[in-house]
Structures are given as structure tokens and as C-alpha cells.
């Protein structure tokens, strides 16, 4: 069919003008409505009688108070950012507090279609590839994110970077909080499983990644019958280069550990700065094999009354590493267990019954360990620990690691309830511990210097607020810093059960916001938020004004993966298509509402490298770009240049188009790629 162009063009123009005119009318009438509302004009059906509304909806005075504390009117920003791990989604969620509105999902270890993360864009593909390959050579794209850690300066969150681990593949990712974009993934070179990460040292010199399930270090095979001889745990200290915003793998090292399952870790702060603490489970060294008549893992690994809190002298470990007193495993420096013992880098302290979290208090004086199978939290004193190390011990574990005397190091035990897991802190001298089996958050008082802040006696349970249900981690505003804020605490509940409309057998997680600004028993739940994605583990909450996010990329042609202008960025007026043999380079720009060029003609079999710059400077003027059938999608934010490449294997006519509804003529923001058949 042949179209008569000369006659259709004016018609098209008239249609476009009519649409634009209609839209202008719409905008004006919207404004009219807004003005009416603002001037207090009665809108049909609405009432301002709060009591009548509350009665109609069955709300109690406590419900109304909760609503008033959390409701954040349109246009008003939240006070805090919460960065939550995305669990099995491999990503990170950014949530505003107190409104509990999800603001963003950051693609970290997993392709994310909207942001075009892992859909051809070269920068994102290279981040995914850095993160390791499957046995068949494709990037790993599944991850189990557990514990995000904000970068710190002097023990306070500084708002510059966020780190997070992937428990499933022992990886650590670095996110830059200027553009909320992942920049780097490092894969642990000696083991496959981590859990004690990520935790930062008080100036973010190191990012701690503790292991979990023991295995032969370096990925060798050894029969499980040789568990005690050949299987090992580890802790890795990743050196962070703040200037470059990257982990410096060449300055990083690990320490070999006995084949216990190291669990969560925390860094010392203030008085305990320079030390790192990790708890452990399965000091029984159970190896499973229920099918052979062995005890199953969960009971085999729970026989002993005590496991071991691992105490690391990081300052000394750095010296040992710097002196080259290491063994290379897969080209990665590892301080052997023997050296760690000989140099006094590692001590054990008995800790009760399958412990979970270890959380250092804001003043750095105490380490709080929750025993999953013990109704207490056990508090160890740092000064007592130092004294015990000073005094020395003749006790060792089976591998020769010195074991300090429990009673000499223990400061207090507080009985809280069933299944204590994780502890957070506030500004009033309280600690908060999640109780998994009780489905509650316990508030209790700290001793030491923090004792003066509360009216209640030290080391005492004050309140237990029920949560729904089976709480894992809790996170409090600035709760891991040397100066927590108090105010808000989020219970990260694993089960939602009856809290939301039914959605089939797979239910969301339930984040519950608790107002902890009061004292004593005043600690109500004020909001329920379903999280309809992977099951988060930990989260951190930072004061919003500490984050200085860019509004648009600083300069046109910006490459987010180098955080600098890309010298090859296509600029306005320089758009072109260059061919060298069968390699074709497309230099394209995007601005409302067109791509330049609008036609790209190539030949089947060409290798195509395509660059697009979004030359906009307006806030939120993002364009997307996709080529059908080639599984390519990129998001091009204002100022950004993206690149992708592909082999033009399939001939035909391909309409590429903008995928963000960027303007009234967004649908017209398209072009044709014509691939002429090679035969």
C-alpha cells in the first residue's frame, strides 16, 4: 500500500494541534478544581467531621493518633530514609519514614527492567559480570540480600554509600547514594556463603563480610567425612576506597576460622574501635546426614549449651596482613588460623545456645548477644574482655583458639522472652530486641554510662509490644551509630498471616512502624506496611538531610559507572552513525520528544554499538529506550549517556521507542531500525 504523503501530513498536524488544545483545557480545569479545594469549597461527599469519619471507619483514638503521627500530606517529605534489604529479590528498597511509602527499588544483584539494569546496558552488564559467573558462563542473577550497611564517619552514618551482602554467593555490593545506583559487586574469592556482612568500621575503612556455612576454602572438593580437617570458616575485611567509591580488592584480606558457622558480626566503636565481633552456631560441627542415621542439622547443631563469640583484633590483623604474614588462596591473602592464634588476633567467648545477633552498644562498651534458644540476651563488657585477654587463658577450643572465661567477661543477662534475635538502640538508654517466637519487640534498659538516661534500673525488661508476626530484624533510627535518634523503630516481620487482603498462598512480609519516642511501656505500633517482594532481613534508617542525592546527572554525557563524563558521549548536533567494516556505532541523543537519528539502517550480521545521551536538564525528564526482540531496555536519566551492543542477527524492521511517558508526544518518540537481510 502506498500512502499519499502530501495529503496526510497537514491532516496529521491538525490532529496533533487538536490533541494539544484538548490537553490545555484539561490542565486548566484541573487547576480550577485545585483552587476550589484550597479555598475551602465543599467537595461533594467529603466531610471534615473527624469523629464522624472515625466512627464510620471504626477507628479508635489510638488509631487516630497513629494516623496523625504517620500521615504525610502530599508534597511533604519524610524525615528518614529506610534502606531495607530485598531478601530473595537481590535488591534494596528505599522507604520513607514515618509514612512508610516505598520510594525506590535499587537494582543490586538482579536484573531490574525499569532501570534497564542488566538488559544490555554495558555498565550494568559489567557490574553483574563482576559479580561472578555461573558454571555455564552467564552472570549470576540471583541473590539473597541480608544486611545493608550505610557508610560511617566517626561512627555516624554519613549518607555517602550503602553496602549489602548476598548470603547465597558470598558477595558484597557498593551503592553510591548520589544516584542510588550500584557501582560494584565483589565476589568472595575463597568461599561461597556469607552472613556476617555487611558491617562497616567506624570510618568505613573496612567492610566486614563474615562467612556462614563452612566449606573447603578456595572452592576445592573434599569429602564431608573430612569436615574437621578440610572445611573452614572465614571472615573477610574489604578495604574501602572512599575517594574512588569502590572496594579496593588489592588491599583486602581474610582470616581463616574453624569450621563453625560464623553468623552475624558487628564492629567495635569508640572504646572498642579496632575490634570486630561475630557470633557462631554449629560449634558442634554437625555434618548432617539424617539419611545415614545422623542427627538432623537443626538438632545436631544445637547440642552444646555454648557456642563461641569470635573476638577479632582488627588493628593487629592489619599489621599481620601488611607484614605479608599470609597464605594466598585463589590469589587472595588469607591469615591462617595458626597465625591468627599465634599473633593474638582471635579469641573466643562462650555464648549461650545458638546465638543470633551480636550488637555493639552506641558507647562501644558492651556487646549484646541474643541466644535464639535462650530467653535471655547476654551482655559482654568490653573492659572485662580486655582484662581477660590481658590475663590470658589456658582454655582452647579443638583448634587451639583461646577461650576466655564466660563469667569473667559477662556483664549481665536480661530475660526477655522466646527467640531473641537482634538488638537496636535509642537515645534514651534503652535497647530493643526482636523476639521471633514471642512475636514481640522487647524494650530493656542498658547499664554502664547509658544507665543515667533512664529512670528504670539497669539491665531490666521494661515493655514487650506484640508485633504481627514472627519478627526477624528490627531497625531503629540511626540505631547502629554512636548517636541513635530514637523516635522510630521498624519491626521486620517474616509472617503477615491475617494483616492484609488475601492474595493466595504467597503472602507479603509485614513491616511495622513503632513509635519509640516515649518511655516505659509507651511503645505502640503505628503503621503496617506490606512488602510485596523478597523477604528483607536487615535495614538501616538514616536522617533524610544526610543524603545529598543528585537531582540530575552533573553534566551532559555522564557515565554513572565511572561517575565522570564519557568522552564518547553523543552530544546535540553531533549525532551520527559510523561504520567500520561490519561494526556500526550509533551516536544518538534523546530529548522530549525525539531521538536523533530517527532512522538507523544496518545490515544483518553487523555488530552494533549504540550510545544514547539524554540531553535534558529538567528534573525527572527520563527517557527509556527499547528495541523489540533484542531484549534491550535502558533507562536514560537527565544528563546520562548509556551504551549497549548487540549482533544484528535478525533482519527486519524494528520500531525502537521511548518507554517513559515523558511528554504529550511521547508516543511519537520513536524511530525505525532497518536491518537489511544479508542474502
Residue (of 426, 194, 435, 410) closest to 309 by Cα position: 410
Question: Burial letters for 547-567: b for 16+ Cβ neighbours within 10 Å, e otherwise?
Answer: beebebbeebbbbbbebebbe
Residue numbers of the site for ligand RUQ (CB under 6 A)? 146-147, 195, 356, 421-422, 472-473, 537
CA distance 477 to 97: 9
Closest CB 283 distance from ligand RUQ, rounded Å:
18
Is 273 or 660 the residue whose CB approaches ligand CUA more closely? 660
DSSP H helices in 197-313? 227-230, 297-300
Of 443 and 623, nearer to ligand CUA (C-beta) is 623
Compare residues 266 and 559 and give the one whose CB is closer to ligand RUQ: 266
Q: Does 660 bind ligand CUA (CB under 6 A)?
A: yes
Q: Please, which residue, 415 or 668, has the CB nearer to ligand CUA?
A: 668
Q: Least CB distance from residue 579 to ligand RUQ, whole Å? A: 52
How many residues does the structure list for the chain? 679
CA–centroid distance for 173 within its chain: 9
Residue 634 is a binding residue for ligand CUA (CB under 6 A) = no
**In angstroms, rounded to a whole number, what is the distance separating the alpha carbons of residues 424 and 477?**
9
Which residue number, 162 or 673, has a Cβ lying nearer to ligand RUQ? Answer: 162
- Residue 377's Cα: distance from chain center in Å? 27
Q: Which residues contact 272 (CB under 8 A, 6 or more apart)?
A: 360, 364, 365, 367, 382
Which window, 150-158, 327-335, 481-489, 659-667, contacts ligand CUA (CB under 6 A)? 659-667
CA–CA dist 430, 447 (Å, integer): 9
Using CB under 6 A, count the residues that bind ligand CUA. Answer: 7
Alpha carbons 517 and 430: distance in angstroms, whole number: 11
Q: Which of 619, 623, 620, 558 is nearest to 596 (CA)?
A: 623
Of the candidates 544, 549, 476, 546, the residue with the CA atom closest to the CA atom of residue 81: 544
Nearer to ligand CUA, 474 or 632 (CB): 632
> Residue 599's beta-bridge partner residues?
672
Q: How many CB atoms lie within 10 A of CB 664?
A: 14
658 binds ligand CUA (CB under 6 A): yes
Tell me which of ligand CUA, ligand RUQ, none is bound by residue 472, counting a contact when its beta carbon lies within the kind-specific cut-off of 5 to 8 angstroms: ligand RUQ
Which CB atom, from 109 or from 595, has the smaller least distance to ligand CUA? Answer: 595
Which of these segments, 426-434, 492-500, 567-575, 662-670, binds ligand CUA (CB under 6 A)? 662-670
Q: How many CB atoms lie within 10 A of CB 655?
A: 11
Q: How far is the CB of 147 from ligand RUQ (least distance, A)?
A: 6
Kindly tell me which of 70 and 475 has the beta carbon lying closer to ligand RUQ: 475
Among ligand CUA, ligand RUQ, none, what does residue 146 contact (CB within 5–8 Å per kind)? ligand RUQ
In contact, 431 and 446? CB cutoff 8 Å: yes
Give the range of 410-418, 480-488, 515-523, 660-668 binding ligand CUA by CB under 6 A: 660-668
Does position 171 interact with ligand CUA (CB under 6 A)? The reply is no
Residue 195 contacts which entry, ligand CUA, ligand RUQ, none (Cβ below 5-8 A, type-dependent): ligand RUQ
Q: How far is the CB of 371 from ligand RUQ (least distance, A)?
A: 13
Which one among 171, 356, 561, 623 touches ligand CUA, defined by CB under 6 A? 623
623 binds, among ligand CUA, ligand RUQ, none (CB under 5 to 8 A by kind): ligand CUA
Q: Which stretch binds ligand CUA (CB under 6 A): 68-76, 394-402, 502-510, 654-662?
A: 654-662
3-state secondary structure of 600: strand
Cα distance between residue 475 and residue 54, in whole Å: 31
Q: Checking DSSP bridges between strand 599-603 and strand 670-676, what pairing results, if any?
A: parallel
Q: CB count, 10 Å around CB of 33? A: 11
DSSP 562: T
Name the closest residue to ligand RUQ (Cβ): 472
Q: Give the closest residue to 286 by CA, choosing from 351, 224, 196.
A: 224
Binding residue for ligand CUA (CB under 6 A) from 326, 334, 471, 669? Answer: 669
Candidate list 311, 541, 615, 662; residue touching ligand CUA; CB under 6 A: 662
Whichever of 575 and 660 has its CB closer to ligand CUA, that residue is: 660
662 binds, among ligand RUQ, ligand CUA, none (CB under 5 to 8 A by kind): ligand CUA
Task: Give the binding site for ligand CUA (CB under 6 A).
Answer: 623, 658, 660-662, 666, 669
Amino acid at each position: 500500500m502506498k500512502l499519499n504523503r502530501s495529503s496526510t501530513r497537514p491532516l496529521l498536524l491538525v490532529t496533533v494541534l487538536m490533541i494539544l488544545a484538548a490537553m490545555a483545557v484539561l490542565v486548566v480545569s484541573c487547576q480550577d478544581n485545585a483552587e476550589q479545594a484550597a479555598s475551602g469549597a465543599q467537595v461533594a461527599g467529603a466531610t471534615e467531621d473527624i469523629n464522624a469519619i472515625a466512627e464510620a471507619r471504626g477507628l479508635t483514638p489510638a488509631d487516630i493518633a497513629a494516623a496523625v503521627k504517620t500521615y504525610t500530606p502530599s508534597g511533604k517529605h519524610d524525615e528518614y530514609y529506610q534502606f531495607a534489604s530485598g531478601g530473595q529479590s537481590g535488591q534494596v528498597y528505599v522507604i520513607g519514614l514515618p509514612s512508610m511509602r516505598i520510594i525506590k527499588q535499587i537494582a543490586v544483584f538482579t536484573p531490574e527492567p525499569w532501570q534497564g539494569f542488566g538488559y544490555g546496558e554495558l555498565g550494568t552488564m559489567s557490574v553483574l559480570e563482576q559479580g561472578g559467573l555461573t558454571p555455564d558462563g552467564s552472570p549470576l542473577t540471583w541473590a539473597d540480600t541480608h544486611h545493608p550497611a550505610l557508610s560511617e564517619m566517626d561512627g555516624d552514618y554519613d549518607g555517602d554509600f550503602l553496602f549489602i551482602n548476598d548470603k547465597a554467593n558470598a558477595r558484597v555490593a557498593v551503592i553510591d547514594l548520589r544516584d542510588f545506583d550500584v557501582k560494584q559487586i565483589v565476589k568472595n574469592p575463597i568461599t561461597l556463603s556469607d552472613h556476617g556482612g555487611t558491617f562497616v568500621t567506624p570510618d568505613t575503612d573496612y567492610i566486614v563480610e563474615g562467612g556462614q556455612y563452612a566449606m573447603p576454602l578456595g572452592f576445592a572438593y573434599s569429602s564431608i567425612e573430612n569436615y574437621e580437617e578440610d572445611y573452614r570458616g572465614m571472615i573477610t575485611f574489604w578495604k574501602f576506597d572512599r575517594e574512588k567509591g569502590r572496594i579496593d580488592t588489592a588491599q583486602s584480606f581474610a582470616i581463616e576460622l574453624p569450621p563453625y558457622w560464623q553468623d552475624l558480626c558487628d564492629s567495635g566503636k569508640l572504646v572498642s574501635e579496632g575490634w570486630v565481633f561475630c557470633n557462631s552456631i554449629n560449634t558442634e560441627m554437625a555434618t548432617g546426614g539424617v539419611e545415614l542415621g545422623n542427627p538432623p542439622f537443626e538438632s545436631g547443631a544445637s547440642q552444646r549449651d555454648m557456642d563461641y563469640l569470635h573476638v577479632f583484633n582488627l588493628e593487629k590483623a592489619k599489621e599481620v596482613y601488611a607484614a605479608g604474614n599470609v597464605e594466598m588462596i585463589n590469589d587472595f591473602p588469607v591469615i591462617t588460623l595458626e597465625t591468627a592464634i599465634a599473633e593474638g588476633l582471635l579469641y573466643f567467648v562462650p555464648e549461650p545456645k545458638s546465638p543470633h545477633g551480636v550488637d555493639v552498644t552506641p558507647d562501644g562498651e558492651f556487646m549484646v548477644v541474643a541466644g535464639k534458644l535462650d530467653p535471655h540476651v547476654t551482655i559482654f563488657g568490653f573492659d572485662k574482655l580486655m582484662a581477660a585477654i590481658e590475663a590470658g587463658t589456658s582454655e582452647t577450643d579443638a583448634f587451639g583458639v583461646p577461650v576466655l572465661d564466660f563469667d569473667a567477661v559477662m556483664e549481665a543477662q536480661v530475660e526477655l522472652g522466646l527467640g531473641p534475635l537482634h538488638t537496636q538502640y535509642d537515645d534514651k538508654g534503652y535497647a530493643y530486641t526482636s523476639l521471633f517466637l514471642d512475636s514481640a519487640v522487647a524494650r530493656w534498659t542498658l547499664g554502664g554510662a547509658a544507665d543515667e538516661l533512664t529512670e528504670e534500673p539497669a539491665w531490666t525488661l521494661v515493655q514487650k509490644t506484640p508485633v504481627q508476626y514472627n519478627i526477624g530484624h528490627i531497625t531503629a533510627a540511626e540505631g547502629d551509630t554512636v548517636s541513635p535518634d530514637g523516635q522510630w523503630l521498624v519491626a521486620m516481620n517474616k509472617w503477615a498471616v491475617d494483616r492484609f487482603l488475601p492474595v493466595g498462598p504467597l503472602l507479603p512480609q509485614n513491616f511495622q512502624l513503632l513509635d519509640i519516642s516515649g518511655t516505659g511501656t509507651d511503645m505502640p505500633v503505628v503503621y503496617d506496611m506490606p512488602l510485596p517482594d523478597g523477604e528483607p532481613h536487615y535495614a538501616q534508617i538514616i536522617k533524610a538531610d544526610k543524603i545529598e542525592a543528585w537531582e540530575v546527572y552533573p553534566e551532559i554525557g555522564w557515565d554513572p559507572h565511572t561517575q565522570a563524563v564519557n568522552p564518547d558521549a553523543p552530544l546535540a548536533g553531533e549525532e551520527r552513525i559510523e561504520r567500520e567494516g561490519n561494526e556500526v556505532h550509533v551516536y544518538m541523543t534523546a530529548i522530549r520528544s525525539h531521538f536523533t537519528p530517527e532512522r538507523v539502517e544496518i545490515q544483518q550480521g553487523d555488530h552494533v554499538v549504540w550510545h544514547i545521551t539524554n540531553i535534558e536538564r529538567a528534573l525527572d525528564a527520563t527517557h527509556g529506550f527499547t528495541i523489540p526482540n533484542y531484549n534491550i531496555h535502558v533507562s536514560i536519566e537527565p544528563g546520562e549517556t548509556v551504551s549497549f551492543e548487540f549482533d544484528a542477527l535478525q533482519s527486519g524492521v524494528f520500531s525502537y521507542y521511548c518507554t517513559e511517558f515523558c511528554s504529550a508526544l511521547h508516543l511519537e518518540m520513536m524511530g525505525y531500525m532497518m536491518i537489511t537481510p544479508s542474502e
